[in-house]
């Protein structure tokens, strides 16, 4: 039982974080991870060399190599999210004390 706990709480060598919609767009090849990284929408923490290796490995996987059901679901979900991103109204961010 101690091994399960220590493995679960182990520090990752590299981690990627972004909004779920951005990660979905990367997986569906509708967004470039480098662009998101430079826009600070994709954060890579830890071993940068390993992070670059993982990113390049993911880029090397062709969508056509995925099982058809998974590929179709991924692409349909990405299209749905992309359409929502285009039609979502812009929200104005205000600071405390500013009139709305």
Spacing of C-alpha 42 from chain mean position: 7
* Displacement of CA 68 from its chain's centroid (Å): 21
Domain ranges of the chain: 12-78
Q: Which residue has the higher pLDDT, 85 or 7?
A: 85
Q: What is the mean pLDDT of residues 5-31?
A: 86
* Helices assigned H by DSSP within the chain: 2-8, 20-27, 33-38, 48-60, 68-87
User: Structure pTM?
Assistant: 0.71
CA 82 to each of CA 12, 14, 47, 71: distance values in angstroms, whole numbers, following the listed order: 31, 28, 31, 16
**Nearest-angstrom CA–CA distance, 69 and 54:** 24
Note the pLDDT tens digit of each residue in 34-82.
Answer: 999 999 999 999 998 999 999 899 888 888 999 999 999 999 999 999 9
The answer to whether 81 and 27 are in contact (CB under 8 A) is no
Residues 25 and 83: beta-carbon distance below 8 Å: no
Q: What pLDDT sits at residue 23? A: 92
Instruction: Using pLDDT thresholds of 50, 70 and 90, give the confidence band for residue 1.
Output: very low
């Amino acid at each position: 039982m101690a091994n399960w706990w220590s493995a679960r709480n182990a520090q990752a060598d590299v981690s990627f974080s972004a909004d779920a919609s951005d990660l979905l767009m990367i997986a569906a090849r509708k967004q470039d991870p480098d662009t998101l990284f430079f826009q600070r929408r994709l954060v890579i923490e830890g071993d940068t060399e390993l992070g670059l290796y993982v990113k390049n490995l993911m880029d090397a996987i062709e969508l056509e190599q995925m099982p058809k059901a998974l590929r179709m679901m991924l692409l349909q979900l990405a299209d749905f999210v992309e359409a929502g991103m285009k039609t979502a109204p812009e929200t104005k961010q205000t600071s405390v004390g500013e009139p709305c």
